Amino acid sequence: MKDLARLIYWFPLRVCIRFIPLSGVYRLGKIGGDLLCLTSKEKRLVLFNELKRILPNCNDKYINTITRKSFENYCISELEVLLYPIIDRNYVRKHVSIVGQEHLDKALCNGTGVLLLQAHFGAFQMVLPILGYCGYVINQISASASLWKTHATTAIQKISLDKKAQYENLLPIKHFPVGGSLRPLFRALQRNEIVGITSDGGAARKTVEVSFLERIANFPKGVAGLALKTGALIVPVFIITEKKLSHRLVFHPPLSKKYNFDKSSEAAAIMQEFANILSDYIYQYPHHYGYTLCLRKMMASLDEHPLFSDYE
């Protein structure tokens, strides 16, 4: 069933989707999310329980609604990947509103480069392409589709990942693999460019403990360490998906230095500030993060440092 879905996604749907109005793509994503919610019993249960933990005062009816919307948001975001070939500066101007862009521009005036920090929140895959088409020089630390190909278990899955890698290469972004050499990143920051990093749990080798959603979480410390070494400013950014597949991109002021003498304590304090901001967004838009909560829970046994320390 998964391979059949991949075939439909990367072949007939990939060709047809560019002829569908964005409002239609948005509705198609919602329908796909509802079907995924109905057919994914295990994920639905895990997602429900994780949402229940962070929203203990909400009734089951509301949690079920957020669970369904989380699946919808995931499918809408995945469909948007198929629109990469038609996204350009004009597309961004029409469908994206940007709030707080002055925080990014002011940080670049510092001359030491910017570490653009985001989470696996909403349509996070769109943030850096949007900025690239706005004229910024963008570099990204990421686990690209080509890296995941080594974990593929079927020929169709490998073909799908190849197609996604081709689409990623269409974007105005220079990709650096997770776990690779940091030298190109240092050079990018020396050129006063933007380096995008997603930092809210996963396969990080070095983490710091933070209070996140009223639980103890392990956040990667790499972005904080990179900032301390280079003097680059860390600018948090979040993306909100609205009706008809429009987006609102929100920049925050750079994370402040805490002036701890110990670098490990300084990194923990920086990541705690980011965790606090991210928590506020999740409480406002829980369906933008629900699917991530589900995946991190299901991958906990494979992660060296699971997102939360209290997983059973």
For the chain, what is the total number of helices (H) and then of strands (E)? 14, 9
Residue whose pair of structure tokens reads 């070095």 in the numeric block = 206
pLDDT score of 145: 61
> Does a structural domain hold residue 2?
no
Global pTM value: 0.93
pLDDT averaged over every residue in the chain = 92
Q: Which of 261, 175, 181 is nearest to 226 (CA)?
A: 181
User: Using CA atoms, how far apart are residues 245 and 129, in angstroms rounded to an integer?
Assistant: 15
> Does a structural domain hold residue 219?
yes
Residue 150 has pLDDT above 70, yes or no: no
> Does a structural domain hold residue 231?
yes
Per residue in 59-109, pLDDT tens?
A: 999 999 999 999 999 999 999 999 999 999 999 999 999 999 999 999 999
Residue 45 has pLDDT above 80, yes or no: yes
pLDDT score of 144: 63
pLDDT average, residue stretch 250-273: 90
User: Using CA atoms, how far apart are residues 150 and 158, in angstroms rounded to an integer?
Assistant: 8
pLDDT score of 169: 86
> Does a structural domain hold residue 274?
yes
pLDDT score of 143: 67
Structural domain that includes position 163 = 87-298
Among 52-56, 83-87, 166-170, 292-296, which stretch is predicted with the lowest mean pLDDT? 166-170
pLDDT average, residue stretch 215-228: 93
User: What is the Rg, in whole angstroms, of the alpha carbon atoms belonging to the chain?
Assistant: 19
> Does a structural domain hold residue 25?
no
Q: What is the DSSP letter of 203?
A: S
**How many percent of the chain have pLDDT more than 90?**
74
pLDDT score of 1: 76
Among 37-41, 79-83, 160-164, which stretch is predicted with the lowest mean pLDDT? 160-164
User: Using CA atoms, how far apart are residues 245 and 277, in angstroms rounded to an integer?
Assistant: 24
pLDDT average, residue stretch 129-157: 81
Among 59-68, 215-224, 246-255, which stretch is predicted with the lowest mean pLDDT? 215-224
pLDDT score of 157: 84
> Does a structural domain hold residue 5?
no
Per residue in 190-213, pLDDT tens?
A: 999 999 999 887 667 789 999 999
Burial (Cβ within 10 Å: 0-12, 13-18, ≥19) of residue 243: exposed
> Does a structural domain hold residue 70?
no
Q: What is the CATH number of the domain that holds 148?
A: 3.40.1130
> Does a structural domain hold residue 3?
no
Domain count, the chain: 1
Tokens of 235: 């600018």
Q: Which of 289, 141, 275, 258 is nearest to 209 (CA)?
A: 275
pLDDT average, residue stretch 231-259: 94
Residue 156 has pLDDT above 70, yes or no: yes
